[in-house]
Amino acid sequence: MASIFIFCSCQKEVDFEGNNVVVTPTSGKILLYVEDASNTPLASIDSFDVTYDASDRVTSLVSRNSGSRILYDYSAGSSYIHDIMDGSTLNIREINYINSSLQLVDSTLQYNEVFDSSTSKMNYNAANELTELKFYDYSYLTGAELTGRDVYAYDGAGNATTYTNYDGSGNVSSTTTVIYTSNNAVKLSIYPPYYPSLYKKLPQSETTVDAATSSSITINYTYTFDASNRLSVEVLSYGGLGFSVTRKYIYE
Looking at residue 13, its pLDDT comes to 40
What digits encode the pLDDT tens for the residues 54-77?
A: 999 999 999 999 889 999 999 999
CATH number (domain holding residue 93)? 2.40.160.150
Rounded CA gap, 8 and 212, in Å? 26
Which structural domain, as residue segments, surrounds residue 159?
10-251
In a domain, 82, yes or no: yes
Domain assignment present for 242: yes
pLDDT at residue 5, as a whole number: 44
The single-letter code of the amino acid at 101 is S
Q: How far apart are CA 202 and CA 229, in angstroms?
A: 14
Is residue 121 a part of any domain in this protein? yes
- pTM for this entry: 0.86
pLDDT at 112 over 80: yes
Mean pLDDT within 2-21? 43
What values do phi and psi take at 23, rounded to 5?
Answer: -105, 100
Number of folded domains in the chain? 1
State pLDDT tens for residues 76-101: 999 999 999 999 999 999 999 999 99
Q: Within a domain: residue 1? A: no
**Residue 4 placed within a domain:** no
Question: Is 2 domain-assigned?
Answer: no
Task: List the one residue out of 50, 18, 16 whose CA is nearest residue 33.
Answer: 50
Q: How high is the pLDDT of residue 8?
A: 43
